[in-house]
Amino acid sequence: MKGIAAFLLLTGLAFSASVDPRLHGGFRNAENAGWIFIHLEGSPSAIGFQHGYLLSQEIEDSKRAIELSTTHGVSHSWPELRHISQVYFVPKLPPEYRDELSGMVDGLRAHGSKLDLTDLVTMNAYMEFSYYYDDLKKRAANKPVTPSHAPEHCSAFVATGKYTKDGRIVIGHNNWTDYLTGTRWNIVFDVAPESGHHFIMDGMPGLIHSGDDFGINDAGILITETTIGSFFGFDTAGVPEFVRARKAMQYSTSIDDFVRFMKEGNNGGYANTWLVADRKTNEIARLELGLKNVTLERSKDGYFVGSNFPINPKLIAEETDYPAKDPNAPNTVRHRRWDQLMAQYKGKIDVDLGKKFETDHYDVITKEIDPNERTICGHIDRSSRGLRPWQEPYGPAGVAEAKVADAALAEKMSFVAGMGHPCGVEFHAREFLKAHKEFAWQSGTLQDVKANPWIVVSAAQATPAGRSAAGN
């Protein structure tokens, strides 16, 4: 138990001789370039206990950030959000994930936390609340409403065949979010469950799914997404998006599996355009998952990109308030930039170019290097226009981290990851809040976004040699 003892010593927690057996196999590594690597394995209860125990302080911090961001965004209190969770989300938890979240509660309480199952479910579903409340407004008004604060996640691509350097798959994603929560999106989860597939993904402390949905499993499935911009619609009888996303990451062995898991019980919450790849067949796909309209495209020789623009005209008309006729809409501008990059680098795309794409600051409108809300690497905090209705002018939001993988890395359950602003443009919270007092409500929780280097993260770190903070 030397590793667990070392972890307790590092975190200032007392060591108990009666360590819970559910900790067996779980550990965390020391922070590296802003990332914390954590390995979880075993039964659902064990995975949850390890998660709660090894990340207890980070989960408490994550909850504070999620609560502040979400309650401000939807103008409802945390007890009100907990009530929605108890009514619509908790009853839809499969036994496996209920056990995992209950195990996380146990792990947290071993360190004195008072967070309960409903708190954790509310944290996991926090990106779905704006869809729920917007749907209530729409029903009350009996007409579409402009979505309130649905986050505009993110910028992503997947390519294969003649578009990539070796003809195999390359995939990349950067995470657009408010900096309140984005600076907490710094965990690399390496999860080896007793059922389903071993998988590795980025994520936030306390979340059982990736949230921005970048991950790879040992069946050869690579997954990412971008949110469908200006989407509305929610089915209270459906299954939470976070449950379906986690299930798809853990159990998919093919693109068809992935599509089935995401469509089954679709509630419309956190509606995304999913980019998926199967390295076994070298096939890629784009699943635009609306509530009423669902479209699947597939290719073994092409690319798909995402930057929060809807695709299907019927979906646009029936389920969004997206300004499809405005060529200068920020998400449409990013789409044009993606198409430019894919054409310019056709036949050359690899991991290094993926990193270049995900940190791209070229504004197609001004034809200048100018990081803002219209660039693939978003920096809304630098824009006088903001990104309404999500973010007001100079809203402290944008890219908070980025990831890229190719087929060779995926075979090793690995990807390259840049925490914070791998583009090199930093955000300093203290100076920002002095200049923008309208965001003073974020004081004490808003953090700096640093320019960390890209690193390779891998399930290979889940070996005794890789353990530096905890283990057993």
Tell me the per-residue pLDDT of 386-422, one tens digit each, with 9 for 90 and over: 998 899 999 999 999 999 999 999 999 999 999 999 9
Q: Going by C-beta distance under 8 Å and a sequence separation of 6 or more, which residues neighbour residue 60? A: 108, 113, 115
User: How far is the CA of 411 from the CAs of 168, 217, 279, 374, 459, in angstroms?
Assistant: 12, 9, 8, 34, 11
Q: Which residue has the tokens 């990736």?
A: 210
Q: Which one-letter amino acid corresponds to residue 210? A: S
Helical residues (DSSP H) of 359-426, grouped into ranges = 407-411
Segment 2-5 long-range contacts (CB within 8 Å, at least 24 positions apart):
2/471, 2/472, 3/27, 3/467, 3/469, 3/470, 3/471, 3/472, 4/470, 4/471, 4/472
Contact of 235 with 268, CB cutoff 8 Å: yes
380 lies in a domain?
yes
Q: Which one-letter amino acid corresponds to residue 347? A: G
Distance CA 222, CA 459 (A): 15
Is residue 189 helix, strand or coil? strand
Contact of 443 with 433, CB cutoff 8 Å: yes
472 lies in a domain?
no
Six-digit token string for 119:
């708190």
470 lies in a domain?
no
Contact of 319 with 269, CB cutoff 8 Å: no
Distance CA 165, CA 361 (A): 23
Distance CA 362, CA 290 (A): 30
**Three-state SS sequence of 129-188:** HHHHHHHHHHHHHCCCCCCCCCCCCCEEEEECHHHECCCCCEEEEEEEEEHHHHCCCCEE
Six-digit token string for 92:
């839809």
Question: Would you place residue 185 in the very low, low, confident or very high pLDDT band (cuts 50, 70, 90)?
Answer: very high
Q: Tell me the CA end-to-end span of the chain in Å, nearest whole number.
A: 5
> With 70 as the cut, is the pLDDT of residue 368 above it?
yes
Q: What is the pLDDT of residue 19?
A: 82
Instruction: Tell me what the mean pLDDT of segment 135-157 comes to.
Output: 75
471 lies in a domain?
no
**Three-state SS sequence of 19-39:** CCHHHCCCEECCCECCEEEEE
CA dihedral 187, 192, 194, 196 (to 10 degrees): 90
Is residue 427 helix, strand or coil? strand
Distance CA 231, CA 229 (A): 6
The CATH number covering residue 308 comes to: 3.60.60.30
Question: Would you place residue 429 in the very low, low, confident or very high pLDDT band (cuts 50, 70, 90)?
Answer: very high
> With 50 as the cut, is the pLDDT of residue 452 above it?
yes
Tell me the per-residue pLDDT of 293-306, one tens digit each, with 9 for 90 and over: 999 999 999 999 99
Q: How many domains does the chain have?
A: 1
127 lies in a domain?
yes
Percent of all residues in the chain with a pLDDT value above 70, rounded to a whole number: 92
Q: Which residue has the tokens 């680098």?
A: 345
250 lies in a domain?
yes
- Structural domain of 431: 2-465
Task: Tell me the pLDDT of the chain averaged across its residues.
Answer: 93
Distance CA 266, CA 261 (A): 9
